[in-house]
Structure 1
Amino acid sequence: MIETFKELVAYLKNPVLEEDPNTDLQYRLKKFGHLFIISVVSIGLLTPILALIEASGLINMDNHAVVEMMENLPKIAVFFFAAVFAPLIEEVIFRGPLTIFKEKKSFKFGFYIFAILFGLVHITNYTITTNVLLLLPVLVAPQIILGGYLGFIRIRFGLGWSILLHACYNAFFISLSFAGLST
């Protein structure tokens, strides 16, 4: 796990268009598991900051698109949207094009831009207010970070793996919400 984390951090500092030459399924499943845990823990570390913002009254999370969706749709529809539809569409849009950047500098630029755009598109989950705009970097930080992780696995293992990681990540957090365990 520590090796995977160090590899991920090094990659995020200097992303390159280079597939992992090890195509062994067991190896990839192990790395996938590590990346899933790293993703969940990373976002878990940001949760207290987001909870503090909500508790301070700066943001009303009751107006969050996911909360509204959970109140208005059957759980199975919410789960399908969050764990199947959204990951598939978002990965095709935000990670699919990464391999068109063949030059080292353009790849690095494209990698970061797509991770940031992935985060920024998630601001639409909030009702746009002055506070939301002022807190935008903090509110979308989890998605920007996740965008980097998903970009890493997409380049190293392929688009299918980033779709799967995104789906598992969303399924985990939506399941926590269904169980009443998330903020």
Structure 2
Amino acid sequence: MKNIKQTYTNLITFITDPYLKDSFEKIRGSEFLYLLLITFAVIIPYAYVLHLAGLDQFDHKMDFLLKEHKWLIAIIAIFVAPLLEEPVYRLHLDFKISSIWWSLGLSILLISEVWIPLALLWVYLFYLLYKVNQGERPNLKYSIFISSALFGLVHLMNFTDFDYFRYFYWVPFMVGAQFLIGLVLSYIRLNHGIKWAIIFHGAYNATLIIPAIYFYEG
């Protein structure tokens, strides 16, 4: 229990006052597991509260994919999504010009009918590019929170036939889980490197998707 409490403390301390290490350390297996447990300890009750609030009234693409393409969604969620989303939403947090350009370039692959979150991402990344080119260091805490919020918003594409104007008040709650996960992934990215953020993202998705595949009753 002591080690998981320390991991939780380290995570909260980082979120409160984030930092960028000069060199990354390989994440320990125990810390990796503790971060997964902490994440699910928050996400599972959060998802249950949303269910009680009736958020499942909105159609979700996951239902169709689980019914028609179970293993396709597993491959996308466990391998493709982390490999794409982590460089887009977390690579640039080191504020290197090359990293920002990589985030911008790869973000084109996220183009969908839900275009507003992507447009906001481009505005944000070009702002970072401007600041860095001017020799200024952007605020790391703001950048982590903004990138996590944008990471959450892009997952609105998972919902079908959602009336954003009618149900706009649901949006923060619908993407709240992804926002929280984005903070955890930012912690991993800035302490252990983008590789471990990708691996953690894939492990998190696998923990959700694989049981859903086996127990889905569409």
Q: TM-score under structure 1 normalisation? A: 0.85
Q: Distance in 2 between matches of 1:39 and 1:132?
A: 27
- Residue 20 (structure 1) shift: 6.8
- Which of residues 103, 109, 112 in structure 1 aligns to 2:145? 112
Q: Distance in 2 between matches of 1:19 and 1:120?
A: 30
Q: Distance in 1 between matches of 2:142 and 2:93?
A: 10
Match of 1:3?
6
Residue 18 (1) aligns with residue 8 (2): no
Superimposed CA distance per residue, residues 150-171 of structure 1 (whole angstroms, 9 cap, x where no aligned partner): 0000000000100011000001
- Residue 110 (structure 1) shift: 1.4
- Residue 51 (structure 1) shift: 0.9
- Which of residues 135, 147, 160 in structure 1 aligns to 2:170? 135
Match of 2:110?
none
Distance 1:32 1:78, change over 3 A: same
Match of 2:45?
45
Partners of 1:154 and 1:161 within 8 A in 2: yes
For residue 179 of structure 1, give the secondary structure of its aligned residue in structure 2.
helix
Partners of 1:16 and 1:104 within 8 A in 2: no
Write out aligned runs for 1:31-180 (5 A): 31-54=31-54, 59-61=56-58, 63-73=59-69, 75-100=70-95, 106-127=139-160, 128-129=162-163, 130=165, 132-180=167-215
- Residue 181 (structure 1) shift: 7.4
Percent identity of paired positions between Structure 1 and Structure 2: 28
Q: Please say which structure displays the higher CA radius of gyration.
A: 2
Unpaired runs of 5+ residues, structure 1, are: none
Letter in 2 for 1:114: S
RMSD: 2.3
Q: TM-score under structure 2 normalisation? A: 0.72
